Chain A
């Protein structure tokens, strides 16, 4: 079946540093791709999405581009803040359901 692979964490950065969290996927078709974020003590929230190749999803300064040739959807942010500390999940759709990666913990230090 389809699957998602994320870089392992934790990722520890200083405030204002550049962030990249790698995500690659395996899929038989052309899924939509998502990044979800889970802040401490809260449920998962959709951060951004892309529905077809070369689409760029963006929200709150985060960006990710759907790369079919490399089957990737890496998450980037130019300048992280302490408030960005959370667990980030890459996901894809397969037959009406979401398939998630294992998550990457991001810790931003002041």
Chain B
């Protein structure tokens, strides 16, 4: 198993553009999480899926953010009309129920 894979590793975009990130979890991990991490802070929960169902979204999550997990496999996180405040590291994690969560290396987004 190659672990949790995230693509791209880095993304630079102009303000106002849309961006999409992909996360491939460890196979057979039914739970998938998205977190955002800014410099000097811990990861902040954004949303999570159990299989294909999105079970929780953070109240802090703007409606410009949307996530999907079709067929309960990979997941995408889209940010529409990006703003400079969206610049951060976006982390994906997967786990089997309450077992250990495995994290990907993240996608670093820079909005210029």
How many B residues touch the partner, as a band? Answer: 20 to 34
Are B101's CB and A100's CB within 8 A?
no
Whether a CB of chain A sits under 8 angstroms from the CB of B85 is no
Contact with A along B68-112 (1 / 0, CB 8 A): 000000000000000000000001010000101111111000000
Are A42's CB and B105's CB within 8 A?
yes
How many A residues touch the partner, as a band? Answer: 20 to 34
Residue from B43, B55, B102, B106 within 8 A of A100 (CB atoms) = B43
Residue from B45, B55, B56, B105 within 8 A of A99 (CB atoms) = B45
Question: Which parts of A26-70 form the interface with B (CB within 8 Å)?
Answer: 32, 36, 41-46, 49
Whether a CB of chain A sits under 8 angstroms from the CB of B21 is no
Given the complex, which residues of B lie within 8 Å of A4, measured CB to CB?
Answer: 42
Given the complex, which residues of A lie within 8 Å of B104, measured CB to CB?
Answer: 43
Are B48's CB and A43's CB within 8 A?
no
CB distance from A24 to the nearest CB of B (A): 14
CB distance from B54 to the nearest CB of A (A): 13
Sorted nearest first, the 7 A-B pairs with minimum C-beta distance are A100-B42, A43-B103, A44-B103, A43-B105, A102-B42, A100-B43, A103-B42
Chain B positions near chain A (C-beta within 8 angstroms): 4, 31, 33, 35, 40-45, 48, 55-56, 91, 93, 98, 100-106
